[in-house]
C-alpha cells in the first residue's frame, strides 16, 4: 500500500527511543523526512544513525518540552532547520511518578498536564496555521488507554483524557481544511528504558506473570512497532476520513467498548 507521504516532513517529540523512535522509523520507511527531539544527545545520535539507513533527511534537536517557554524556544529552533512541518506527532508524556488524587498535590497535576497536554496543544496551535494554508496536514497525539478508562495515576489519567477531548474538538474544527487530528491510545508497550521495562526489571517473575495473565489478553506486552505503523497510517493520504478518532493499540487490554 502506498501511503502517499513520500517527501513530507514530520516532527516527532520524544523521537529518540520507544514509541517516538518507532513512529520515526515507520514514517522513514515511507520516505518521510524527519525532525526529532529528545532530552538526551546520546539517544538522539543513536536514533539518527538508525533513521538515516532509510535515506531520508534527519534533523535532531536536544530539547526538553515542559512548558510554554520551552515550546516557543523549540519552535524557533525547528523553523531554522525545517521550512515546514506536514506531520506533527506529539509523543512526549509520562506520569512523572505521580499517584492518586489524595496523594498528589496540585503541582503534580500541573506538571503532568504540562508535559502530556499543554505541550501537545501548544505545538499543534503553532504548526496548524501553515498546515491549513497548505491545505494538508496531520496531527497525531499519543494518548493512552488510561485516558479512556481507569488506570495509571490520577494526574496522568486526567492529562490523557484532556488530550483526547481536545483532539476530538480540533479535528471537527479542521474537517474542511485538509488537516486531520487523531489520537493513538497505547496499552502496556514494553521498550528499552520505558516504564514497562522498568516494571519487569523491578518486580519478581511471579508479579510480572500475574500482571500479564490478568491484564494482557495476548499473553505478552505490546511492542512499539505496532504504534509506529499506526502513526504512519494516520499520517497517510489514506486516513483522510479518520477525524477525531482515538485508536487503541493495546492487544485487547482495555475494557471500554468505545
Catalytic residues: 156
What is the distance of C-alpha 157 from the center of its chain?
A: 15
What is the distance of C-alpha 143 from the center of its chain?
A: 7
CB 190, CB 197: distance < 8 Å: yes
Calpha distance 104→191 (Å, rounded): 27
CB 233, CB 1: distance < 8 Å: no
Query: 207 vs 143, 191, 196, 201, 212, CA distance in Å?
Result: 26, 19, 13, 11, 9
> How crowded is the C-beta side of 20, counted as CA atoms within 13 Å?
28
Measured over all CA atoms, what is the biggest interatomic distance in the chain, rounded to whole angstroms?
A: 55
Q: CA dihedral in degrees (111, 113, 117, 122; nearest 10)?
A: -50
Amino acid at each position: 500500500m502506498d501511503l502517499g507521504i513520500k517527501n513530507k516532513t514530520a516532527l516527532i517529540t520524544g523521537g529518540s527511543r520507544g514509541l517516538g523512535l518507532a513512529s520515526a522509523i515507520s514514517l522513514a520507511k515511507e520516505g518521510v523526512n524527519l525532525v526529532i527531539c529528545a532530552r538526551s544527545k546520546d539517544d538522539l545520535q543513536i536514533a539518527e544513525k538508525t533513521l538515516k539507513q532509510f535515506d531520508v533527511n534527519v534533523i535532531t534537536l536536544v530539547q526538553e518540552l515542559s512548558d510554554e517557554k520551552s515550546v516557543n524556544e523549540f519552535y524557533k529552533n525547528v523553523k531554522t532547520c525545517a521550512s515546514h512541518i506536514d506531520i506533527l506527532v506529539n509523543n512526549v508524556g509520562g506520569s512523572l511518578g505521580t499517584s492518586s488524587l489524595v496523594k498528589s498535590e496540585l503541582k503534580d497535576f500541573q506538571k503532568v498536564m504540562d508535559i502530556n497536554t499543554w505541550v501537545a496543544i501548544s505545538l499543534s496551535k503553532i504548526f496548524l496555521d501553515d498546515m491549513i494554508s497548505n491545505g494538508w496536514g496531520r496531527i497525531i497525539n499519543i494518548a493512552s488507554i488510561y485516558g479512556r478508562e481507569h488506570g495509571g495515576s490520577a494526574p496522568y489519567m486526567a492529562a490523557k483524557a484532556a488530550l483526547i477531548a481536545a483532539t476530538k474538538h480540533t479535528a471537527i474544527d479542521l474537517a474542511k481544511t485538509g488537516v486531520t487530528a487523531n489520537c493513538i491510545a497505547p496499552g502496556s508497550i514494553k521498550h528499552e528504558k520505558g516504564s514497562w521495562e522498568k516494571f519487569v526489571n523491578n518486580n519478581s517473575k511471579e508479579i510480572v506473570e500475574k500482571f500479564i495473565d490478568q491484564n494482557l489478553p495476548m499473553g505478552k506486552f505490546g511492542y512499539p512497532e505496532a504504534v509506529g505503523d499506526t502513526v504512519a497510517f494516520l499520517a497517510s493520504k489514506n486516513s483522510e476520513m479518520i477525524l477525531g478518532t482515538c485508536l487503541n493499540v493495546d492487544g485487547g487490554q482495555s475494557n471500554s467498548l468505545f
